[in-house]
Amino acid sequence: MKGESKLNNVVIGVVGGLGHIGLIQSACLAGLGYNTIAYDIDKEKIAGVLNGKLPFEEAGLQKLVRETVNDGLLKITAQIDDLEEAEIVFICVGTPSLSNGEADLSQVYQAVEQMARNRNRHCLAVIKSTVPVGASAKLTAHLKKLNLSNKVTMVSNPEFLREGSGVEDFWNPARIVVGSEIKEAGEKVAGLYAPDGVPVIITSWESSELIKLASNAFLSTKISFINEISILCEQVGADVRTISKGIGLDPRINPHFLAAGVGFSGPCLEKDLQSLIDQFKKTNQKARILESVLEVNETLRHSVVEKLLAELGRLKDKNIAVLGMAFKEETDDVRQSHSLPIVQNLISQGAMVTVTDPWVKSPEQAGLSEDVLPGVTWVDSPYAAAKDKDAILILTAWQEYRDLDLARIKQLMANPLIVDGRNLFNKDDLKAQEIKYQGVGI
């Protein structure tokens, strides 16, 4: 779907324009009819995108990029000067975790500063990157010190896009949040793309920044909550899937983010939670709930390995097939995927590990250097992975795995055992195939 631009003749820039959020933002704004300039330093990536090869999978994005580039609405460039005509520039660069959990803002500072130095006209610099509370104020003070504040006014406008359905989420947001010191600047950014009828919150920089972090922290909390309940389910003979259904039918709770399993991972939830915990520490407060959320997540992540160990007696020299490397289904993203530390745990215990994923076919494609998963064999299908194995460990909830031909799997395996970190199956179906089965909280 393409919408309609709400403000006429506004040229928009996007820094970090070929990153995951940056490219969705650029293509969707161009899809709304805005002249959009996506700036990125990676010339190889730019050439790839212009040739129809996106750096990552995202439903509907390739088509939208192609159409908007062809329409002349989306321009992709490695020249920062090209941003001069943009009066609103979105900052979509990475904010990775430092070892103490703190978010590293160096890319954001560099992007804003470089952009300000390379322009003559004033613009609104809109922070899409997820930043700690106070970042917009600090950036403003920083620009003032450099005598660049006449070039840039900071606005916060967090994103709530899920990987895999980012384009869809852009068209159908649950809300638009904008933080600004200047009311008109906030209204202008919200007015750019808030669809009719969607709630808009225009607030302070700090509240806007914290809405984003608190949203992700709350989603993480829901997952760890149900995962904690799953631990008790296993002790008392209850089924956590039925518990999720039973509590989720209460509209005050709702059914989303109550799927128990190996927990949350990926480039966002864990990093943002760590950043929020770090912000509590910096203000001499303790984030008691949030620290527990992280602790439960870590416990559940490795509980599947404990289950394998309990079933097999030891992992040394055992052949284990791991199904799922992406941090969730419908993405090829393995950044901070739970599968990496879990496979590393298996390797460290002496297991021989074969991995497979429908969209991640090799360590090179995943961007993993050789030393991340040493000695691991990558194969093309779950059936190739299952051959002669002592156990299968399921880590990502791909539909392809839900649809597995269990009779074929049983025949292929040396020892029919499935430990299912995503609760994809019914125990009875596995029993009928005489495959030993362990889920999470079932």
| Minimum distance of ligand UGA from residue 260's CB (angstroms) | 7
Contact range with ligand UGA by CB under 6 A, out of 39-47, 257-265, 377-385, 386-394: 257-265
Residue 177 interacts with ligand UGA (CB under 6 A): yes or no? no
Task: Please tell me whether residue 246 adopts helix, strand or coil conformation.
Answer: helix
| Minimum distance of ligand UGA from residue 270's CB (angstroms) | 9
CB 269 within 8 A of CB 220: yes
Return the closest-CA partner of residue 223 out of 324, 297, 326. Answer: 297
Distances in Å between the Cα of 42 and the Cα atoms of 25, 48, 83, 304, 331 are 17, 10, 16, 39, 22
Token output for 102: 């703190």
Residue 56 interacts with ligand UGA (CB under 6 A): yes or no? no
Contact range with ligand UGA by CB under 6 A, out of 170-178, 261-269, 273-281, 429-437: 261-269
The residue within the footprint of ligand UGA, chosen from 22, 263, 358, 416 (CB under 6 A), is: 263
The residue within the footprint of ligand UGA, chosen from 151, 301, 328, 335 (CB under 6 A), is: 328
CA dihedral 247, 236, 416, 424 (to 10 degrees): 0
Amino acid identity, position 404: L
Residue 412: CA count within 13 A, CB half-sphere: 20
Residue 127 interacts with ligand UGA (CB under 6 A): yes or no? no
Q: For residue 35, what are the β-bridge partners?
A: 11
Return the closest-CA partner of residue 137 out of 151, 149, 150, 121. Answer: 149
The order of strands in the sheet holding 319-323 is: 377-378, 352-356, 319-323, 391-394, 417-420, 436-438
Contact range with ligand UGA by CB under 6 A, out of 65-73, 259-267, 312-320, 426-434: 259-267
Find tokens 């076919």 and name the residue.
361
Residue 130 interacts with ligand UGA (CB under 6 A): yes or no? yes
Return the closest-CA partner of residue 92 out of 27, 1, 141. Answer: 27
Residue 171 interacts with ligand UGA (CB under 6 A): yes or no? no
Contact range with ligand UGA by CB under 6 A, out of 5-13, 185-193, 216-224, 374-382: 216-224
| Minimum distance of ligand UGA from residue 66's CB (angstroms) | 23
Token output for 150: 């006449």
Residue 264 interacts with ligand UGA (CB under 6 A): yes or no? yes
> What is the distance between the alpha carbons of residues 42 and 22, in angstroms, rounded to a whole number?
13
- CB closer to ligand UGA, 119 vs 222: 222
- CB closer to ligand UGA, 18 vs 269: 269
Q: Which residues, 269 to 288, sit near ligand UGA by CB under 6 A?
A: 269
Residue 357 interacts with ligand UGA (CB under 6 A): yes or no? no
| Minimum distance of ligand UGA from residue 111's CB (angstroms) | 17
| Minimum distance of ligand UGA from residue 279's CB (angstroms) | 16
> What is the distance between the alpha carbons of residues 333 and 74, in angstroms, rounded to a whole number?
25
| Minimum distance of ligand UGA from residue 344's CB (angstroms) | 17
Residues in the chain: 442
- CB closer to ligand UGA, 183 vs 252: 252
Residue 161 interacts with ligand UGA (CB under 6 A): yes or no? yes
| Minimum distance of ligand UGA from residue 97's CB (angstroms) | 13
Residue 159 interacts with ligand UGA (CB under 6 A): yes or no? yes
- CB closer to ligand UGA, 215 vs 349: 215
> What is the distance between the alpha carbons of residues 175 and 152, in angstroms, rounded to a whole number?
26
The residue within the footprint of ligand UGA, chosen from 136, 153, 221, 265 (CB under 6 A), is: 265
The residue within the footprint of ligand UGA, chosen from 40, 58, 163, 420 (CB under 6 A), is: 163
Dihedral over Cα of 162, 166, 170, 172: its sign: negative
Compute the 3-state secondary structure of the chain and give helix, strand, coil in percent, each to the nearest 5. 45, 15, 45
Residue 327 interacts with ligand UGA (CB under 6 A): yes or no? yes
Distances in Å between the Cα of 35 and the Cα atoms of 86, 121, 334 are 9, 17, 33
| Minimum distance of ligand UGA from residue 422's CB (angstroms) | 8
Return the closest-CA partner of residue 152 out of 123, 179, 173. Answer: 123
Q: Known catalytic residues? A: 268
Number of residues that bind ligand UGA (CB under 6 A): 21
Token output for 228: 């904690």
The residue within the footprint of ligand UGA, chosen from 46, 243, 268, 424 (CB under 6 A), is: 268
Residues in contact with ligand UGA by CB under 6 A are: 130, 159-163, 216, 219, 223, 257-259, 261, 263-266, 268-269, 327-328
